[in-house]
């Protein structure tokens, strides 16, 4: 039994690495050290960053004047109180109907290499223009929004100071939004204190859950590194009409129904789960992974049924909760008139 699990685990690792084009991983379960937090935030060399620019970006993130009808902001769907998500399966956008996917978190996006559930957007700057102009999200027109913000003297002055050449424009608005979002980093969680050496920071159950996560349950094959994601796309066998990554890579049979592995940071605040928001809580998520998902040609080779008794399920969930930092208040920016 144990041997077959080890074999499947090793097989899974090999196939996954080949699929992802990543270097082969070391054998054996990941250690807690492989999940240690980095101390700096990676910033792209060709994009501007300053605290002032991030502050300006934060104002824009909270400003409903970025939406067509001035009634919705980025926070409508990426709410700090809910781990920068929305506590409903699919948020209602400017057209008054639910949009087609669940809002993912914008926590730790500085470490994310491609955006949206299907990874179709290559940068945070490129990404930010989409929600502003999508008719079913904020339903705005960049030209009209630039004009509207231009009437706000403080915005005009800030943009002129930070971008002496371009001033307030579509491209500088998205640069500011991206700069702010790179500062949205999840706080120290009990797990981090444990990984850094405090043996008492998490419960015995959470420690046993970590062993399952990195061992028999195979979760760390995809939820790896400090942000608990390999940033790759996998079909985990959910019933869905949405082909996800398949639309971006139509020639790749494994891309069908594949979605980007989400971070598990602050997971306790981020229900409901998955790209369609159809899993209400972590019990349902564990049931899904234990069952191994529906069999189809695109199903990830890393997915297979796992025997988990009630106690082990409880331990895995205790571990997942240990990835959640204490709730902090996000101060509301004061918006200029
Ligand atoms: C009406 C809800 C809604 C609003 C408003 C909204 N978003 Fe989103 N956001 C979503 C959804 C849904 C997705 C995922 C869409 C997909 O994958 O196809 C998303 C995805 C993202 C992502 C990608 C995260 C990742 O890891 O892939 C970022 C970043 C983001 N939004 C930032 C913003 C910014 C900045 C604003 C404001 C300008 C904004 N969003 C406004 C719903 C919204
Ligand atoms: C084959 C790769 C893979 C494996 C193995 C895997 N996951 Fe995932 N996980 C994903 C992907 C991809 C998603 C998003 C799928 C979607 O929305 O369609 C996901 C979603 C989740 C979510 C929801 C997160 C959110 O923001 O909605 C949780 C929680 C989760 N996984 C925990 C686990 C646990 C616990 C295990 C082990 C029992 C595990 N995963 C095993 C790839 C994997």
pLDDT at position 27: 65
pLDDT tens column, 319-331: 999 999 998 889 9
Cβ 288 vs Cβ 181: under 8 Å: no
- Tell me the C-alpha distance between 37 and 25, whole Å: 19
What mean pLDDT do residues 246-265 have?
Answer: 98
Tell me which residue of 328, 316, 320, 323 sits closest to 190, measured CA to CA. Answer: 323
Closest C-alpha to 303, from 272, 268, 257 = 257
* Residue 138 beta carbon below 6 angstroms from any ligand 1 atom: yes
Task: Assess contact for 173 and 184: CB atoms under 8 A.
Answer: no
Tell me what the mean pLDDT of segment 155-168 comes to.
Answer: 97
> Is residue 25 pLDDT above 70, yes or no?
no
**Cβ of 325 less than 6 Å from ligand 1:** no
Residue 275 CA, closest ligand 2 atom number: 17
Contact 281, 271 (CB under 8 A): yes
- Work out the average pLDDT over 24-30: 67
Ligand whose nearest atom lies closest to the CA of 281: 2
CA of 119 to the centre of ligand 2 (A): 16
Residues 41-55 have pLDDT tens digits of 999 999 999 999 999
On the question of pLDDT at 98 being above 80, the answer is yes
Q: For the chain, how many residues are written? A: 337
- Structure-token pair, residue 266: 């602050």
Distance 259 CA to ligand 2 centre (A): 10
d(CA 259, CA 245): 6
Distances (CA, A) of 69 to 59, 65, 100, 134, 332: 18, 8, 20, 13, 21
Residue whose CA lies nearest to ligand 1 atom number 22? 116
Q: How far is the CA of 275 from the centre of ligand 2 (A)?
A: 10
Q: Give 193 Cα–ligand 2 centroid separation in angstroms.
A: 24
Tokens of 300: 């990830």
| Interval 280-292 mean pLDDT | 98
Q: Ligand nearest 117 Cα, by number?
A: 1
The pLDDT value recorded for residue 28 is: 80
Q: State residue 21's pLDDT score.
A: 39
Through-space distance between the first and last CA atoms of the chain, rounded to whole angstroms:
67
Rounded distance from Cα 265 to ligand 2 centre (Å): 12
> Is the pLDDT at 26 greater than 60, yes or no?
no
């Amino acid at each position: 039994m144990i041997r077959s699990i080890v074999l499947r685990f090793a097989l899974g690792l090999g196939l996954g690495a080949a699929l992802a084009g990543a270097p082969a991983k070391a054998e054996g379960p990941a250690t807690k050290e492989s999940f240690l937090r980095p101390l700096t935030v990676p910033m792209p060399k060709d994009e501007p960053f300053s605290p002032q620019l991030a502050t300006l970006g934060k104002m824009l993130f909270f400003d409903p004047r970025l939406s067509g009808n001035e009634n919705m902001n980025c926070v409508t769907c990426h709410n700090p109180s809910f781990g920068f998500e929305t506590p409903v399966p699919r948020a209602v956008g400017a057209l008054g109907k639910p949009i087609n996917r669940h809002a993912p978190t914008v926590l730790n996006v500085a470490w994310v290499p491609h955006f949206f559930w299907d990874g179709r957007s290559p940068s945070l700057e490129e990404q930010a223009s989409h929600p502003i102009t999508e008719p079913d999200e904020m339903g705005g027109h960049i030209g009209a929004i630039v004009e509207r913000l231009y009437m706000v003297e403080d915005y005009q002055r800030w943009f002129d100071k930070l971008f002496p050449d371009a001033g307030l424009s579509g491209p500088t608005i998205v640069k500011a939004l991206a700069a702010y979002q790179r500062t949205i980093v999840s706080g120290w969680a009990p797990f981090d204190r444990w990984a850094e050496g405090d043996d008492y920071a998490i419960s015995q159950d959470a420690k046993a859950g970590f062993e399952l996560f990195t061992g028999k349950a195979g979760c760390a094959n995809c939820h790896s590194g400090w942000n608990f994601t390999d940033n790759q796309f996998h079909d985990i066998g959910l019933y869905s009409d949405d082909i996800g990554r398949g639309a971006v890579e139509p020639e790749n049979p494994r891309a069908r129904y594949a979605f980007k592995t989400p971070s598990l940071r602050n997971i306790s605040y981020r229900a409901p789960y998955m790209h369609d928001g159809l899993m209400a809580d972590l019990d349902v998520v564990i049931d899904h992974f234990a069952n191994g998902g529906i069999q189809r040609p695109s199903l990830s080779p890393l997915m297979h049924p796992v025997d988990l008794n009630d106690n082990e399920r409880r331990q895995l969930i205790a571990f997942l909760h240990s990835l959640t930092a204490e709730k902090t208040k996000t101060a509301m920016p004061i918006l200029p008139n």
